[in-house]
């Protein structure tokens, strides 16, 4: 499909890891994807992606918690490319800590990116979708919200908040033709994970799944692409676990 005929999808954290796999899957389904990322190196690398040359992938450096910047950038994109038809809130971050040593500053940073960022991006994009007759939003959650993995309490709380926010969004945005779903992601073999964990740790993670393997970014991307597609036109307010059975919804 020519790039100029494509509807616009926005993927946060879309220039690397799971986000890039989602971007590629949506492009394959006919979207032009604006890959929003706060990491300048990832954005620069994405500009060299084969799909960037024909305009199907548009990498943009943007902080999802900077409301004024988000509003300005999405308004510019709507003017240049058309209103957002699909939004995937994939961007997230965490910091190492436990319940007994989590600091307030780290709590604020983690909750801001994972929960507030999802709210800001969704609200700004949904206002465009209301004006254009509807759209699809997919929020990326985590098995950490369900006690499957240990880690910082702020991350677990923020991802649990994403699930509650998603349900509320589905209820309030449904009358406007906007579908909202959540994909709960388990341990996924991203370059970041593979570079940080030992083979023993990876084996322990594999053993925690019912499939005996880590997820691939493409496993998540395929489900997200379905939820953004017309094939999922009657699916909203749902939580879908893509975790190899680490958490069964």
Active site residues: 155
Instruction: Tell me the HSE value of 97 on the side-chain side, using a 13 A CA sphere.
Output: 19
For the chain, give me the number of helices (H) and strands (E)? 10, 7
Decide: 217 and 176 in contact? Cβ < 8 Å: no
Decide: 151 and 94 in contact? Cβ < 8 Å: yes
CA separation, residue 128 to residues 6, 64, 140, 238 (Å): 17, 17, 21, 22
Rounded Cα gap, residues 249 and 239, in angstroms: 7
Backbone angles phi, psi at 14, to 5 degrees: -90, 5
Decide: 143 and 186 in contact? Cβ < 8 Å: yes
Rounded Cα gap, residues 171 and 86, in angstroms: 17
Residues near 199 by beta carbon (within 8 Å), at least 6 away in sequence: none
Measuring CA to CA, which residue among 87, 71, 76, 73 is closest to residue 19?
Answer: 87
Query: Pseudo-torsion of CA 18, 244, 242, 94, nearest 10°?
Result: -50
């Amino acid at each position: 499909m020519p790039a100029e005929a494509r509807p616009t999808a926005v993927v946060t954290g879309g220039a690397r890891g799971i986000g890039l796999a989602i971007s590629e899957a949506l492009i394959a389904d006919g979207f032009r994807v604006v890959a929003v990322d706060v990491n300048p190196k990832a954005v620069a690398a994405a500009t060299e992606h084969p799909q960037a040359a024909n305009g199907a992938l548009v990498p943009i450096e943007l902080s999802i918690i900077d409301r004024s910047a988000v509003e300005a950038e999405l308004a510019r994109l709507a003017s240049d490319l058309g209103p957002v038809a699909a939004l995937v809130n994939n961007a997230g971050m965490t910091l190492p800590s436990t319940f007994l040593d989590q600091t307030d500053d780290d709590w604020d940073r983690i909750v801001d990116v994972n929960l507030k960022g999802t709210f800001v991006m969704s609200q700004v994009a949904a206002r465009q979708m209301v004006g254009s007759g509807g759209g699809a939003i997919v929020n990326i959650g985590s098995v950490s919200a369900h006690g499957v993995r240990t880690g910082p309490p702020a991350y677990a709380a923020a991802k649990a908040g994403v699930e509650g926010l998603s349900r509320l969004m589905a209820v309030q945005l449904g009358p406007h033709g906007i579908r909202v779903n959540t994909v709960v992601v388990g341990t996924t073999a991203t370059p970041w994970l593979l570079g940080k964990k030992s083979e023993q740790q990876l084996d322990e993670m594999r053993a925690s799944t019912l499939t005996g393997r880590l997820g691939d970014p493409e496993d998540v991307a395929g489900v997200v692409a379905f939820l953004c597609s017309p094939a999922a036109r009657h699916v909203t307010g749902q939580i879908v676990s893509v975790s190899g059975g680490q958490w069964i919804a």
